[in-house]
């Protein structure tokens, strides 16, 4: 009965967001850092692993998979060179810890590094000699629970902050997800995730003040004027995905994944991919994502097209599921030179 309640709540939210999207609103959302994926394993499949994602990576894409972590404790660190050539990078760290027999708790932190940007002014268009760097940060706390009928549900609360030293916007977003596993060997998986639903954000701070001459021509002095910034919404989206494991023999497995994404502020996307696993030590994966073009004048999103990746993991203790792994991924982008991801995993 309890799991049916969670499913009903999520489906109601799914219906709401599915009819809220409007391609004409493309570009109006803020906090787009929430759309970026710092983890290489799922990035190699263009983040289309809604159905079968597990452990720390589930904290970003479908929190219901948190409880399906391959080990009792999983620790991950990720780094990505976003739009290679622009000098922007992502750094992330995450922890997944199983609690009891059917629950799991998770924490994830992601920051963006923009490098040192020269300060320019009207008087010094070539730079004043000083530099600055925007501060983009988000931290999520998650919990997931698996029921005995192989349905798992999860919820994430995430703090989102971005800005400069004298101007900042902070808000809270929520993710919810469901995964269902069935089949004789749990080979078929289905997942739904609702992401980035939260409070509107608004920039505030001293950076919005301007010192201008008095509007009264008879008064020879300057006044400080405060500019009110407009609020903006978070980039909410809905993912629906499925996966199927083709077990060739005990050492070889091929997994097919497919996923549909309904974006509130962008065009919808659909795609699929394949992952090959040998002896649970070597993995190759690749995917393709297609973006529906409903508006010829709309600019396509950064990610569409191909993605690819590979993993190598060394077992410490096969009985306990302890491993050390390294993941790499490349995602094609419509501008610049793509995004490169690398992740280090510890399954304890």
**Rounded Cα gap, residues 5 and 185, in angstroms:** 27
- The single-letter DSSP state of residue 27 is T
d(CA 129, CA 116): 11
Measured distance CA(64)–CA(297) in Å, rounded: 37
- Residue 338: helix, strand or coil by DSSP? coil
CA 128 to chain centroid: 36
pLDDT at 167: 92
Helices (H), 188-343: none
Query: How many other CB atoms sit within 10 Å of the CB of residue 231?
Result: 13
Strand partners, 180: 151, 190
Q: Which two tokens stand for residue 211?
A: 């010192």
Task: Please name each of the domains of the chain with its CATH number.
Answer: 2-198+237-347 (2.40.160.60)
HSE (CB half, 13 Å, CA atoms) of 2?
A: 8
Residues 254, 248: contact at Cβ < 8 Å?
yes
pLDDT for 8 equals 47
Query: Could you tell me which residues are beta bridge partners of residue 194?
Result: 176, 238
Q: Locate 36 and state its tokens.
A: 């970026």
What pTM, to 2 d.p., does this model score? Answer: 0.88
Are 80 and 341 spatial neighbours (Cβ–Cβ below 8 Å)?
A: yes
> What residue ranges of the chain have pLDDT lower than 50?
1, 3-5, 8, 12, 15-21
Output the six-digit token pair for 201.
């954000």
Angle at 158 between CA 287 and CA 325, to 5 degrees: 45
């Amino acid at each position: 009965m309890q799991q049916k309640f969670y499913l009903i709540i999520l489906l109601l939210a799914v219906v709401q967001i599915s009819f809220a999207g409007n391609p004409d609103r493309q570009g109006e959302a803020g906090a787009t850092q929430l759309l970026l994926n710092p983890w290489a394993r799922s990035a190699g499949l263009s983040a289309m692993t809604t159905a079968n994602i597990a452990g720390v990576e589930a904290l970003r894409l479908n929190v219901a998979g948190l409880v399906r972590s391959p080990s009792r404790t999983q620790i991950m660190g990720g780094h990505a060179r976003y739009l290679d050539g622009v000098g922007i990078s992502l750094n992330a760290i995450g922890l997944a810890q199983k609690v009891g027999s059917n629950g799991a708790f998770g924490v994830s932190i992601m920051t963006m590094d923009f490098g040192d940007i020269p300060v320019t002014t009207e008087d010094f268009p070539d730079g004043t000699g000083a530099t600055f760097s925007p501060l983009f940060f988000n931290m999520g706390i998650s919990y997931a629970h698996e029921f005995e009928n192989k349905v798992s549900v999860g919820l994430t609360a995430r703090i989102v902050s971005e800005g400069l030293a004298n101007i900042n916007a902070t808000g809270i977003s929520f993710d919810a997800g469901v995964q269902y596993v069935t089949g004789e060997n749990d080979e078929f998986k289905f997942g739904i995730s609702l992401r980035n639903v939260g409070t509107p954000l608004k920039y505030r701070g001293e950076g919005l003040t301007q010192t201008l001459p008095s509007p009264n021509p008879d008064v020879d002095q300057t006044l400080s004027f405060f500019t009110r910034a407009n609020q903006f919404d978070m980039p909410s989206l809905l993912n629906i995905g499925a996966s199927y494991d083709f077990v060739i023999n005990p050492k070889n497995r091929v997994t097919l994944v497919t996923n549909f994404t309904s974006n509130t502020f962008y065009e919808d996307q659909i795609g699929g991919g394949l992952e090959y696993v040998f002896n649970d030590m070597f993995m190759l994966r690749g995917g393709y994502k297609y973006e529906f073009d409903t508006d010829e004048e709309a600019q396509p999103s950064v990610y569409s097209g191909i993605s690819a990746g590979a993993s190598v993991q060394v077992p410490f203790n096969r009985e306990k599921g302890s491993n050390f792994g390294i993941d790499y991924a490349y995602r094609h982008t419509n501008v610049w030179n793509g995004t490169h991801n690398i992740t280090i995993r510890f399954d304890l």
